[in-house]
Amino acid sequence: MKKQIVLLPGDGIGPEILASSTSVLEAIASKFNHQFIFEHQLIGGSAIDKVNDPLPEQTILAAKRADAILLGAVGGPKWDNNPSHLRPERGLLGIRKALDLYANLRPVKGFKQLLHASPLKEAIINGSDLLIVRELTGGLYFGRPSERQNNGERVVDTLVYSRSEIERIVKKGFESAQLRRKKLTSVDKANVLESSKLWREVVEEQKANYPDVEVDHCLVDAAAMKLITQPNQFDVIVTENMFGDILSDEASVLTGSLGMLPSASLAENGVGLYEPAHGSAPDIAGKGIANPIAMILSSAMMLRYSFGLDKEANTIEAAVESCLDQGLHTADLHVSGGKRVSTKEMTEAIIKNISSINS
């Protein structure tokens, strides 16, 4: 199989972890006889520095032509005081919108080898395996107006959702649940927000189309608590943009580190952008100690969702799991024993495991 992949390294640790994942993909290509053609494009702070635009037109055009997109991370203190149109995050939000990547899938699976690396009790997180389906192109992130008024004395952000925007993500939630343990939890704030009331209505309407899925509603504050007290209660969570952002960072605690959490952002036409759920970690950028696993698992999601290469995706996941079995861990994982390794060492170990897996 021959595929064109656009690489958006971005800022901070983005370039380091993206390089890890392209070398892992090269190993997959040679093992399974595929050809992956990589094309680098600019996004975020590094794009601001080079061309004074967090999302150059050329990046959007290349992404639209590509078979899939891999993104490192954007942002950093260097651009914190920039005006809002020159913030790195604008690049990320802009590409999500430009490609209509409305469905963000964030699988959260507690690896047994890392149970003790979580600050939560092992008995609570043992067996947790859930998927957050986050709406990604609507809500507070994109509502207008969003501005300072009265010389900065008053600010306004706007939360807008249309019925069709809610419908497509809710359907994605149901479909995802059908492929898993058939349990869907819709998270909202329907006791307060108008948008959540419509959200709940849509879920109630749609459930007739998915009789095999058990569905319940949970208010976001209660969901935040349950996620770390009874994570095993969840299979698929479907929720709006901002709630999904917050809950997915919280859920990463189940896996021991945010550095373990991959994600896929998908459009209705099949285009996919894959990125770790973590940020650019500017404090450790350039030190060679970042955890590449979330990025590498994101590229496994790309193989599965965009190219239908299940065997190849499974191979990457198994290779990562073997590294954990071997006791390898990067500095973000507070595990006892084993061996602390650098980004490069972890990447090499994963590649070595890929070559020794029989598939």
Residues with active-site annotation: 141, 189, 221, 245, 249
Among candidate residues 29, 86, 91, the one with its CA nearest the CA of residue 60:
91
Going by C-alpha positions, the residue among 113, 20, 111, 38 that lies closest to residue 354 is 20
Residues 240 to 299 in contact with Mg ion, rule: CB under 5 A: 245
> Considering only residues 75, 139, 231, 256, which one is a binding residue for ligand IPM as defined by CB under 6 A?
75
Measure the CA–CA gap between 348 and 288, rounded to whole angstroms.
Answer: 13
Question: Among residues 16 and 245, whose Cβ is nearest to Mg ion?
Answer: 245
Alpha carbon distance, N-terminus to C-terminus of the chain: 17
What count of other Cβ atoms lies within 10 Å of the Cβ of residue 230? 11
Which residues in 258-277 contact ligand IPM (CB under 6 A)? 277
- Closest approach, Cβ 246 to ligand IPM, in A, equals 9
Among 38, 60, 86, 89, binds ligand IPM (CB under 6 A): 89
**Of residues 296 and 324, the one with the C-beta less far from ligand IPM:** 296
Nearer to Mg ion, 15 or 279 (CB): 279
Q: Reading across the β-sheet that carries 35-40, which strands appear in turn?
A: 35-40, 2-10, 68-73, 272-274, 264-266, 103-109, 129-135, 236-239, 183-188, 214-219
Q: How many residues bind ligand IPM (CB under 6 A)?
A: 6
Q: Provide the angle, in degrees to the nearest 10, between the axes of the packed helices 241-251 and 220-229.
A: 20
Please state the closest distance from residue 252 (CB atom) to ligand IPM, in A: 10
Q: Which lies closer to Mg ion via its Cβ, residue 273 or residue 351?
A: 273
Least CB distance to Mg ion at residue 258 (A): 9
- Among 53, 235, 240, 245, interactor with ligand IPM by CB under 6 A: 245
CB distance 101 to 136 below 8 Å: yes
Q: Which of Mg ion, ligand IPM, none sits in contact with 279, Cβ below 5 to 8 A by type?
A: ligand IPM
Helix axes 293-305, 310-325, angle to 10 degrees: 160
Output the CA–CA distances (angstroms, integers) from residue 44 to 59, 181, 352, in the order listed.
11, 37, 33
Ranked by CB distance to ligand IPM, the top (closest) residue is 89
Q: Give the nearest distance from C-beta 139 to ligand IPM in angstroms.
A: 11
Amino acid identity, residue 28?
I
Q: What residues between 15 and 74 interact with ligand IPM by CB under 6 A?
A: none
Which one, 27 or 277, has the nearer CB to ligand IPM?
277
What is the closest distance, in whole angstroms, from the C-beta atom of residue 343 to Mg ion in the complex? 21
Q: Which residue is nearest to Mg ion (CB)?
A: 245
Q: How far is the CB of 278 from Mg ion (least distance, A)?
A: 8
The answer to whether 92 contacts ligand IPM (rule: CB under 6 A) is: yes
Please say whether the beta carbons of 186 and 167 come within 8 A: no
Cis ω for the linkage preceding 276 (within 30 of 0): no
Are 331 and 293 a contacting pair, CB within 8 Å?
Answer: no
Q: Among the candidate windows 85-93, 122-130, 134-142, 237-245, which touches Mg ion by CB under 5 A?
A: 237-245
Q: 282 vs 327, which CB is nearer to Mg ion? A: 282
Helices 88-98 and 57-65: crossing angle in degrees, nearest 10, is 40
The residue ranges that bind ligand IPM (CB under 6 A) are 75, 89, 92, 245, 277, 279
The residue ranges that bind Mg ion (CB under 5 A) are 245
